[in-house]
């Protein structure tokens, strides 16, 4: 079905003319829908090395271009307010994973093992894919927004190195502006992007307050694994 394009300025004017407060209605709508899923930072890997980092904003009734937000120069700066090590063994075509875990604690109804570290599926190159799931606050189009970013297995080492540098500096992860940049990586005939991390100063006080509130507000998201967490090529067998 062809998507209808909506003129938001016309709608805003019509609501104002009818006595409605557009901003109040939008805020109410956001409160009801935010907990369903957050926008996600995605990486598009290219064989020519021109990889791309963007935000998947989700389907809407506006122009199709608004469903993806470009990240200038493939560099994102954000405050990380939650971190999880997630795993899932997901068969293509299935709606739920055969097994999954958060921070090495199985959350599946019938886990394949009671200990991820001893499970043969969790070995390097095994069917159970590990990722780091990060919940972020980033300024997008002059507005600080919560986002989800999953780091693939090849980028986990960069995240661990970043955390070690912060620890040696006596800095909590949430206290700094973390930078995420793409690094072109080649091995044989394969070419992909890895996410490298750095630090760009200390987070602002108002952002730290938002981060503290966001950790509580989005706690439910940290208790489950969704299909969107494992939607990249190679995530499912």
Q: Which of 2-6, 189-193, 231-235 has the lowest mean pLDDT?
A: 2-6
Mean pLDDT of the chain: 87
The pLDDT of residue 32 is 46
pLDDT confidence bin for 216, thresholds 50/70/90:
very high
pLDDT per residue over 77-120, tens digit each? 999 999 999 999 987 778 789 999 999 999 998 999 988 988 99
Q: Comparing 223 with 60, which gets the higher pLDDT? A: 223
d(CA 224, CA 102): 8
d(CA 167, CA 186): 30
Dihedral over alpha carbons 187, 188, 193, 195 (to 10 degrees) = -10
Dihedral over alpha carbons 184, 187, 189, 190 (to 10 degrees) = -50
d(CA 139, CA 120): 41
pTM of the model as a whole: 0.83
Element (H, E) at 201: strand 190-202
DSSP assigned state of 3:
P
Judge whether residue 1 has pLDDT over 50: no
Place of tokens 């620890």: 167
Q: How do the domains of the chain map onto residue ranges?
A: 34-230
pLDDT per residue over 138-175, tens digit each? 999 888 999 999 999 999 999 999 999 999 999 999 99
Residue 80: exposed, middle, or buried by beta-carbon count in 10 A (0-12, 13-18, 19+)? buried
pLDDT confidence bin for 2, thresholds 50/70/90:
very low
How confident is the model over 60-68, as a mean pLDDT?
66
Place of tokens 């080492």: 157
- With beta carbons less than 8 A apart as the criterion, state whether 70 and 59 touch: no
Closest CA to 154 of 187, 178, 179, 176: 187
Q: Comparing 170 with 58, which gets the higher pLDDT? A: 170
The pLDDT of residue 61 is 67
The pLDDT of residue 34 is 45
Residues 6+ apart with CB under 8 A from 224: 107
């Amino acid at each position: 079905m062809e998507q209808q394009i909506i003129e938001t300025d016309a709608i805003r004017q019509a609501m104002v003319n009818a006595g409605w407060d557009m901003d109040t209605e939008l805020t109410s709508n956001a409160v009801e829908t935010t907990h369903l899923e957050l926008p996600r930072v995605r990486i598009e890997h290219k064989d020519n090395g021109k990889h791309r980092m963007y935000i998947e904003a989700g389907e809407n009734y506006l122009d199709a271009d608004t469903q993806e937000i470009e990240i200038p120069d493939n560099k994102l700066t954000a405050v990380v307010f939650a971190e999880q090590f997630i795993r899932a063994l997901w068969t293509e075509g299935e709606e739920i994973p055969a097994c999954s875990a958060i921070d090495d604690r199985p959350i599946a109804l019938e886990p394949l093992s009671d200990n991820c570290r001893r499970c043969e599926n969790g070995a390097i190159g095994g069917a159970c894919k590990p990722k780091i799931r990060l919940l972020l606050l980033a300024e997008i189009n002059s507005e600080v927004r919560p986002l989800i970013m999953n780091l693939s297995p090849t980028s986990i080492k960069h995240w661990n190195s970043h955390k070690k540098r912060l620890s040696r500096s006596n800095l909590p992860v949430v206290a700094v502006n973390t930078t995420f940049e793409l690094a072109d990586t080649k091995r044989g005939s394969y070419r992909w992007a890895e996410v490298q991390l750095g630090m760009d100063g200390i987070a602002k006080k108002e952002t730290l307050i938002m981060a503290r509130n966001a950790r509580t507000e989005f706690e439910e998201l940290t208790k489950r694994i969704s299909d969107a967490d494992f939607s990249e090529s190679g995530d499912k067998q």
